[in-house]
Structure 1
Amino acid sequence: MSQNAATAYFNYINSQGGICGRKIVYSPCDTGGTADGTTGCLSKLAAQDKVFMMGPSLDFNLDIVQKTLADNKLPWVGSSGLYDQEFTSPWMYPTQIPGGSVGALITTHAVKALGVKRIGVSQLRNGAGPSCTGKVKSTAEALGAQMVSVALNADVETSLDSQVAALKNANVDSVLFCNDPVNTIKFIQAAQRTGWKPIFFGGFVAADDVPQAAGAYGKGMYGLTMYDFYKSDSPGLREYKKITEFYYPNTFHHFYEQAAYVGAAAIVATLKAIGPNVNRTDFVKQLKTMRSFDVGLGLKLDFANLKNAVPSGIILKADDNLQWQIESKRFSPSGAKSSVSESVRPDFVADRTRSRIAPARTF
């Protein structure tokens, strides 16, 4: 669905005449969800296809692409933001917030609004997991709470019974998930089998099927969305849904899809600002002038300082029907500095085991 969102946006721009009369070609390459697939696709696109840049993608191996991008001076806008390396590479511009910011946001709400004191963390060993957990710990301590225990899990787990037992035995009052959605679901299901229900709070769960798949114990769980909730009604969300649903009527809205859509919009806004004579150096330079980019979905991105930009988010809560409902207004983590408020808007009117890398080209 992430690929669909970017494709829809580029198709929309092309239908309006493109950029300076030129059309964007967006060509996915299926990695098969493997590191070798990611390496192979990126090598093909960079060396053989000579793409101008990498476009919005959901890929679970983006910690291994930095050298190839640097060697080819190839920018990547709209990456998934699931690895710390995406925020430190001068060639990568993710359109989600870093894992550490996710940890700070969910901890801030858990402690200040829910009053938790003894926090357990279910953490994915790689990706955004470690940095998320690090911020859970420091934010909790700053607010007078404590991260008591961490239960680690790998990308693929048959069950999380042992991790549930570890956190239950640590007598935590809440479990914060610095985890992928699949393992979050498995943890809650395992907790239900033991009859143990602390406060569950997910950092990467803003998709309708997460509480539904978790089952009965998904009721009342909390989750973070970086972008405005996709079921809300605002001008920006109406435009986003109008464009994506026009080209893909049955598309499944979720936060990864929103991130891909925003990445596509950032590419278009940058290319339009440059004009007809485009090169990579000017593209990156222009992209970095967008210090508070927002297409109307709420999250403001600072492309000049992605790692240290002030993050924000909205808390969701699963209702009795296991549907997400908005629980909070948009906020920043405890201790964060105020962020800039202006926005940049483009001129339009309105399954985990597979990954795709998609380049954007103009002709």
Structure 2
Amino acid sequence: MACGAAAPAGGNGGATDIGVSDTTIKVGGTFFNGGFLDKYSQVSQNAASAYFNFINSQGGICGRKIAYSPCDTAGTADGTSGCLTKLAAQDKVFMMGPSLDFNLDIVQKTLDDYKLPWVGSSGLYDQEFTSPWMYPTQIPGGSVGALIASHAVNVLKVKRIGVSQLRNGAGPSCTGKVKSTAEALGGTLVQVALNSDVETSLDSQVAALKNANVEAVLFCNDPVNTVKFIQAAQRTGWHPVFFGGFVAADDVPKAAGAYGKGMYGLTMFDFYNSTSPGLTEYKKITEFYYPNTFHHFYEQAAYAGAAAIVAALKAMGPKVTRTDFLKQLKTMRAFDIGLGLKLDFGNLKNAQPSGIILKADDALAWQIESKRFSPATAKSSISSSVQPEIVGDRGRARVAPARTF
């Protein structure tokens, strides 16, 4: 029996599992608020909170309201581990929900130990797509690489590609799919320039790709380092095609400056400034609770995660258990809250990805450049990293587990 807002006549069963009572379902989350990408993280947390608040304002689900408990990890491995353990063991949440955090490649054992589902993680690590407990609401890094390479080679007719890549997180798998997709379409990945999460300058990476005579730089990178690379290129007067995989936010081309004009970007969800019914509702809900919010693709992923949790809980009926929740979630094979990206929770690892290309206009504002499309050659969303000729700080130790986008 599916749930409405009110409890059924016979009651909702009360405490049917850990983190569930007759009035509440506890949901946790982890975010890296306060770090160098704080504006992306905090807004994503707000989007999930807004959706849960909206559902609670309508009466909840079978008489229960969502109690969402985000935990600030400070972007460290210890912070992520500590938050997850606290939420699971001390707060006893029913499940983990929308999150934008680093170090989600180290949480799988804890989730298994506590039999704890996680829906709405940020999808920046391949391990999120292979764990039986994790269900990200963003396409994996490999799919991002396949999509931007498909458009660069098929549409822009680029042959010689350079990649600016973050060493960890989604960076390696994104580059892996750039390489395999470009080669399948007749292009070549000539060189990769690596960077860490915090860089004072990307001058050496720019010089390396410029000297390699690449026609386009594809960014398997976070928004901040993407901007730093373009700014460094502008200082040298070098202006190849710039194409970002993780850049669907208004501030990216604006921060890039004059060379941000004409840059390309990918959005996995429908462009947030569009006016479809689903996008209109998403903006109405998030802006009601957070009037000065800053829309971007990370925020959309968190919002979609909250909506997926609510949809599964409503469909499964009043007897809420983790086992039955996961069974219900896996039946959602083309879930879309109205943001355009269809999520196959029964097969996220191998789902066919899709996206839309954006291009920055003369005013450094994103405009829609393409219809939604799937990669030209890619089937699997997960890819291994590659070892092409790489430049960058070879001697710098990896911060383990390091930050990502």
TM bucket by the smaller chain?
A: over 0.9
Contact 2:226-2:244 within 8 A present in 1 as well: yes
**Does 2:113 correspond to 1:93?**
no
**Does 2:198 correspond to 1:156?**
yes
- Which residue of the partner structure matches residue 229 of structure 2? 187
- Which residue of the partner structure matches residue 298 of structure 1? 340
After superposition, residues 1-363 of structure 1 pair within 5 angstroms as: 1-336=43-378
Contact 2:146-2:378 within 8 A present in 1 as well: no
Q: Which amino acid aligns with 2:128?
A: E
CA offset at residue 156 of structure 1? 1.2
SS of residue in 1 equivalent to 2:302: helix
CA distance in 2, matches of 1:286, 1:277: 12
Unaligned 5+ runs, structure 1: 338-354, 356-363
Q: Which amino acid aligns with 2:153?
A: V
SS of residue in 1 equivalent to 2:350: coil
- Which residue of the partner structure matches residue 14 of structure 2? none
Q: Which amino acid aligns with 1:231?
A: N
Q: Which amino acid aligns with 1:26?
A: Y
CA distance in 2, matches of 1:110, 1:16: 45
CA offset at residue 335 of structure 1? 2.5
CA offset at residue 292 of structure 1? 0.5
CA distance in 2, matches of 1:217, 1:336: 30
CA offset at residue 32 of structure 1? 1.2
Q: Which amino acid aligns with 1:328?
A: S
CA offset at residue 240 of structure 1? 0.5
Q: Which amino acid aligns with 1:325?
A: Q
Higher relative contact order (CA 8 A, sep 6+): 1
Contact 2:181-2:378 within 8 A present in 1 as well: no
CA distance in 1, matches of 2:143, 2:214: 22
Unaligned 5+ runs, structure 2: 1-42, 380-402
SS of residue in 2 equivalent to 1:325: strand
CA offset at residue 328 of structure 1? 0.4
CA distance in 2, matches of 1:64, 1:319: 40
SS of residue in 2 equivalent to 1:28: strand
CA offset at residue 309 of structure 1? 0.1
TM-score (norm 1): 0.92
SS of residue in 2 equivalent to 1:220: coil
- Which residue of the partner structure matches residue 344 of structure 1? none
Deviations 1:97-136 (A, max 9, x none): 0100000000000111111000000011100111100100
- The CA RMSD over aligned residues, in Å, is 0.9
CA distance in 1, matches of 2:163, 2:59: 49
Deviations 1:240-289 (A, max 9, x none): 01111111111100000000000000000000011110000001111000
SS of residue in 1 equivalent to 2:194: strand
Contact 2:62-2:314 within 8 A present in 1 as well: yes
**Which entry has the higher C-alpha Rg, 1 or 2?**
2
SS of residue in 2 equivalent to 1:27: strand
SS of residue in 1 equivalent to 2:189: strand
Question: How many residues get paired?
Answer: 338
SS of residue in 1 equivalent to 2:63: coil
SS of residue in 2 equivalent to 1:90: coil
TM-score (norm 2): 0.83
Q: Which amino acid aligns with 2:76?
A: T
CA distance in 2, matches of 1:181, 1:250: 21
CA offset at residue 185 of structure 1? 0.6
Q: Which amino acid aligns with 1:274?
A: M
CA distance in 2, matches of 1:89, 1:277: 25
Deviations 1:4-28 (A, max 9, x none): 1111100110111100011000011
CA distance in 2, matches of 1:298, 1:174: 28
CA distance in 1, matches of 2:91, 2:274: 40
